[in-house]
Structure 1
């Protein structure tokens, strides 16, 4: 790579060129993605898939209707499989060509190109282009990261309640965004959940997360999930600021996955 500087994507400062040091690309990056025609189409497809998942979890359709629906979905799968597989991200997240991807990401991030954060649109929790996501909709409110979410029937654990695993996953995502308030970005090291009362399905919920303190590479964050004024769960998280070499290793592994059969 001759005169090019090494790309240290795991470094928190490099990840945020063109973005304030205490802002998370999970929040600002996703919210600022331009509505390209392809992105709009992907999100529409994901929304339809999300609705299918919700309807399937509570349908009383007879066998004939189920067989007809299955055939229709199988036709959709066949249609999508006609295109090459891999990572369907736009911009930097297009990982089909590993050779130039690290330099491309650095250039996009440093130039402030919003496509640098395209991968978040495919998150299983906040991604509007992922049919598995509820999705959580995050924003900043003063010194907090706040998320609004409504879990559908497919997320049921106890009767009429959200499965505790999804509650934990929501906390991991929102606390993971709130750690940026420390001016760093890291990986989850520990997540502790206190389930205080049932978390209802099909009910607008609010998740708040805020920075408690940071000590070197350790970032401590706390959060609450609420149904109105009632706290349904609390969480405490420990995040460890990125190690550049480790992050590059994870990215290279992700590139390699796109070349595996069936991916």
Structure 2
């Protein structure tokens, strides 16, 4: 497989060039990054009531300012990415990998031959058991990871079945790595597998079956 895989149905990259992002996209990403930091601090801060009230008032005014502008139809980003080659309009708003989405961890994905590799770090907002990532958040990461992986085939599809095996609790505030690959393709079914690690510890693994929309 080439180092720069051809886009076949779904865009494969979270960015199309190594050039720094500038202008409105840079500011969108900066704002999302700041909002992630606010969320993290809100989860753990013991700030006094008056300071929380003042901050909430400020954010309400900011929300009203944003609401006064025309709404962008985010769902059009997929079509724009497929036709123009600029994938930011699609990927940047993803709830998992979106650098312009404040609820994204964010998960970072790269294509390495036939393997998709990723990195993610769960903050306090993603906590399930004390000190550990919520199992649903881990499942969402695997859905994104395997979904991205199956897009390496000629006829990518949508999630049919996702099976997660949680081996040990996954810690928060830890640099995690993940990887996935396509196992086989049978008719409309695309079979993928993936794992989630930190160091030598495998925290979870997943198998997914995706159903092609183009056969």
| TM-score where L is the length of structure 1 | 0.74
Q: Tell me, yes or no, if structure 1 residue 194 matches structure 2 residue 165.
A: yes
Distance 1:230 1:23 in 2: 35
1:85-115 per-position Cα deviation (integer Å, ceiling 9, x unaligned): 24258xx529xxxxxxx7xx5xx745xx332
Larger relative strand fraction: 2
- Structure 2: unaligned runs, 5 residues or longer: none
Match of 1:217 in 2: 188
- Which protein shows a greater Rg? 1
Aligned residues: 210
1:194-216 per-position Cα deviation (integer Å, ceiling 9, x unaligned): 00001010000011111111001
- RMSD across aligned C-alpha pairs, in angstroms? 2.3
Larger relative helix fraction: 1
Q: 1:88–1:219: structure 2 CA closer, same or farther, 3 Å change rule?
A: closer
Higher RCO structure (Cα 8 Å, ≥6 apart) = 1
Q: 1:116–1:197: structure 2 CA closer, same or farther, 3 Å change rule?
A: closer
Distance 1:184 1:146 in 2: 21
Match of 1:72 among 37, 52, 58: 58
Match of 2:201 among 215, 225, 230: 230
Partners of 1:21 and 1:184 within 8 A in 2: no
Match of 2:77 in 1: 93
- The Cα of 1:116 is off from its aligned counterpart by 5.1
Match of 1:137 among 96, 104, 108: 108
Distance 2:163 2:67 in 1: 40
Distance 2:37 2:153 in 1: 37
Partners of 1:24 and 1:178 within 8 A in 2: no
Match of 1:183 in 2: 154
Q: 1:72–1:64: structure 2 CA closer, same or farther, 3 Å change rule?
A: same
- Structure 1: unaligned runs, 5 residues or longer: 1-17, 95-101, 245-263
Name whichever of 181-190 and 128-137 sits farther off. Answer: 181-190
